[in-house]
Structure 1
Amino acid sequence: MSVTIKDIAKAADVSLATVSRVLNGSGYVKETTREKVHDAIKQLHYTPSAIARSLSTNKTNTIGVIIPDINNPFFGEVIKGITQVADEHQLNIILCDTDDCKEKELKAIKLLREQRIEGILMTPTYGEEAHDSAYMSTLDNLGIPVILMDGHVKYANYSGVFIDHVQGAYDGVEALIHAGHEKIAIINGRLDSRPAKERFLGYKKALNKYAIPLHEQYIFNGEYDHERAYTMTKKILLLEDRPTAIFVSNNLSMLGCVKALNEQSLSIPDDMAILGFDKVDALNIIGMNISFINGPTTLMGKTGMNMLIESLEKQKDVHMRELKQITLLPELHLKGSEKKSV
């Protein structure tokens, strides 16, 4: 049988209001009385209900996190950063995975609102065409801080933390060029997403800087998954004027690319050089030293969580509300897979 505050009040011989004030840390209570209540709580092994506490304080100390793909290790690293900061501030997290689906994202937003969360950290659905008037209305009417993580909402400005995809892709393609490559293919993500657009721009900027022609037959735009990248890699290998290197613009696509190369018994980098955006721990674990551009994912999660906490502290003061967007620089890690066969 569960213990209630009525039981605490009876054991301590005080009123319900006094027990409530002690539990919530509000109002004046004599020290001797406070000790009596605490003694009763210990004796009866009372654990306060989080739901009841949230109703009395009008605060849940819970934030919502919305991501498009929980299977992507990129978001696992982001969540790690979020939880590290949340734990420091004794904040709870409700995590929602949308499968990059607008309907599921809207459902998640409504669910979180019903849970009376304090704020939201989210990576919106990649397809910017999904950000229609109904979507915008749902976000605008939340009435709580929303912080974006490496994703944009079309036609709107929200505070957030982002990765410089243009610079990251430029650095990666430049490394391939410095290794002696001029025929460089790209396996990109969906071009209706901001990261894919910016990574493609970085690819083109690097080619242009070194006066290397942009060949349409080397451009492959797909999804953020290994199956599509596997198919595209096989098409690249069948090209009459085959490239000597492939820039793979996301981690899951890298898995598909490597699978296709292995099936053809092609050596990396002797038969095909590759360089990816975002690390793939699974490849490193099995001893494949694949060069990559590392987006500071854990740092992004920490930064986003700190931004949300700052917004929660300032939201009561209209004059302190401001749009804040932070861009993090990725780092290039060369492990040898970018080299050109002599």
Structure 2
Amino acid sequence: MTTIIDVAKQAQVSKSTVSRVISGNGYVSQESRKKVLDAMEALSYSPNLIARNLQSGETKTIGFLAHGFFDPLGIFLESFISIAKHYNYYVTLYFTDGDKAKEIDALNQMKYKQLDGVFILTRANEWEVIEPYSIYGPIATWHRIDSERIYSSYVDHYSGYLRSLNYLFQRGYHSIGHVLGNSENLNTKARLRAIADFHNENHIPNKSEWIFHDNARQDNGRIIARQWHSMANRTDAMAFYTDSVAASFISELQILGYSIPEDVAVIGFDNSEISRLMHITTVDYSIKHQAENSFIYIHNQLNKKTIAERKMSVQLIERSTVPVRSDKKKQ
């Protein structure tokens, strides 16, 4: 088996010069670099990356875990990869399809020194199962959790959602339907508190049939659209926890013969590409900075650094799906 020593002899350079060429760390003249690369090609030498990783204790690679593709993934992944590249890290994407065993396999890559850290966009296992893996490397997520072992980069969904509801109310919408995520998520619980406070403050009845829970995302916007269509007393506005479900809702209602926003106003959450394409009023809650802060945490833990996190904020993005109601204009 060809070794680094064989390459050094073939190129007539030192072993450390070959090592610097392979690792990309340290200065090597163009002439010496060419000699090393030519020698590696002549000898068909391929670096043993696993051995290198075990020796150095790092892979310069972060695992990015998600169930599969959904609208915010593109924004988050692009921002995460961009900042990782800036700090000379690679990102490996794992689609788990919600499979708990696949997620554990990915987490084990830290144990086997094939990943330095992990970011979890959507999880399959309970946090109690995931937390012990933090002994092998830093773990970050955008889920809202309270953990000393897992970093959580999140924006308070209570204030963002309350802002959405007050915005709808101010534009003349008083019967508002709510499409929320998994009922066990802390962000969903924060939104439920915002709904209760909104109705109490404005003396509006809070009807249980106006609250929809979406645990799967796929096609649920269409299902909710048909449920809204079948309601005896339809809401005049719908607030969604994510733009992709709002877009699916709008698409299905249009098939059913409704006009948006004439028949129902719609407000989303994410400020994703689909909201821009479909002109959906939405809430931008610094999703790009959430991605950057998640990487910064992992980087700081791995390198004992204190790079400052990005400042996050919540901003309402006004588009065409929430006009002022005509009867409101007359007031």
Higher relative contact order (CA 8 A, sep 6+): 1
User: TM-score under structure 1 normalisation?
Assistant: 0.80
Matches within 5 A, 1:241-260: 241-260=233-252
Deviation at 1:114, TM superposition (A): 2.5
User: Is the 1:163–1:295 Cα contact (8 Å) retained in structure 2?
Assistant: yes
> In the alignment, what sits opposite 1:214?
206
For residues 55 and 175 of structure 1, what CA distance do their matches in structure 2 show?
55
Give the Å deviation of 1:45. 5.4
2:166, 2:30 → 1: CA distance? Answer: 68
- Cα distance, 1:103–1:202 mapped onto 2, change above 3 Å: farther
Q: Quick one: distance in 1 between partners of 2:73 and 2:272?
A: 12
Counterparts of 2:234 and 2:31 in 1: how far apart (Å)?
A: 81
Residues 186, 219 of structure 1: 8 Å contact kept: yes
Equivalence for 1:5:
4
* Alignment-derived partner of residue 165 in structure 2: 173
After superposition, where does 1:161-200 map in structure 2 within 5 Å?
A: 161-200=153-192
- For the residue of structure 2 that corresponds to 1:204, the secondary structure is helix
CA deviation profile, 1:246-290 (whole Å, cap 9, x unmatched): 1112123213311231122111111111111123523533xx321
- Which amino acid is the alignment partner of residue 302 of structure 1? E
TM-superposed CA distance for 1:124, in Å, is: 5.0
Displacement of 1:12 in angstroms is 4.4
**Are residues 1:65 and 2:64 paired?**
yes
Aligned counterparts of 2:311 and 2:196: Cα–Cα separation in 1: 21
Indicate whether 1:148 and 2:178 are aligned. no
Tell me the amino acid that sits aligned with residue 294 of structure 2.
G
Matching residue within 111, 122, 127 for 1:131: 127
In structure 2, the partner of 1:333 is 317
Distance 2:250 2:199 in 1: 24
| Paired residues, number | 315
Matched, 1:278 2:270: yes
Write the mapping of 1:31-50 to structure 2, written as runs, cut at 5 A: 38=33, 40-44=35-39, 49=47
The answer to whether the 8 A contact 1:269-1:337 is kept is yes
Structure 1: state its 5+ residue gaps.
26-32
Alpha-carbon deviation of 1:42?
Answer: 4.5
Give per-residue Cα distances to partners, 1:197-238, cap 9 Å, x unaligned.
Answer: 223332333333322221112111122414223222222232
Residue 74 of structure 2 corresponds to which residue in structure 1?
76
Q: Partners in 1 of 2:109 and 2:276 — Cα distance?
A: 38
Amino acid at match of 1:290: I
CA distance in 2, matches of 1:34, 1:267: 66
Q: Name the SS for the 2:76 alignment partner.
A: helix
- The equivalent of 1:93 in structure 2 is 91
Q: How far apart, CA to CA, are the structure 2 residues paired with 1:157 and 1:91?
A: 22
Structure-2 residue corresponding to 1:29:
none
Q: Which shows bigger deviation, 71-80 or 95-104?
A: 95-104
* Preserved CA contact (<8 Å) 2:75 2:272: no
Q: In the alignment, is the contact (CA less than 8 A) between 1:161 and 1:327 conserved in 2?
A: no
Report how far residue 242 of structure 1 moved.
1.7
Q: Separation in 1 of the partners of 2:151 and 2:174? A: 39
CA distance in 2, matches of 1:251, 1:333: 12
1:24 is displaced (CA, Å) by: 3.8
SS state at 1:182 partner: coil
Question: Taking structure 2 as the reference length, what is the TM-score of the superposition?
Answer: 0.82
Q: Secondary structure at the match of 1:71?
A: coil
Structure 2 vs 1, CA of residues 309 and 283 (structure 1 numbering), >3 Å: closer, same or farther? closer
Instruction: Give CA deviations for 1:298-319 in whole Å, capped at 9, x if unaligned.
Output: 221112111211111229xxxx
Name whichever of 4-13 and 79-88 sits farther off.
Answer: 4-13
| 8 Å CA contact retained: 2:168, 2:322 | yes
Alignment of 1:255-266 (within 5 A): 255-266=247-258
Aligned counterpart, 1:30: none
Distance, in Å, in 1 between the alignment partners of 2:311 and 2:318 is: 23
- Mapped to 2, the partners of 1:167 and 1:126 lie a distance apart of 27
In structure 2, do the counterparts of structure 1 residues 296 and 218 end up closer, same or farther at CA, with 3 Å as the change threshold? same
Judging changes above 3 Å, is the alpha-carbon distance between structure 1 residues 115 and 341 closer, same or farther for their aligned structure 2 residues? Answer: farther
Calculate the aligned-residue CA RMSD, in Å. 3.1
Deviation track 1:163-198 (CA, whole Å, cap 9, x = no partner) reads 221111111111110111111111111102223222
1-side partners of 2:149 and 2:38: how far apart? 53
Q: Go from structure 1 to structure 2 and tell me whether the alpha carbon gap of 1:206 and 1:224 turns closer, same or farther (over 3 Å shift).
A: farther
Partners of 1:303 and 1:13 in 2: how far apart?
45
1:134-182 Cα distance to aligned partner (Å, 9 max, x none): 4444x24x331222223437x7652231122111111111111011111
Matched-pair contact (CA < 8 Å) for 2:238–2:265: yes
Other structure's SS at 1:65 match? strand
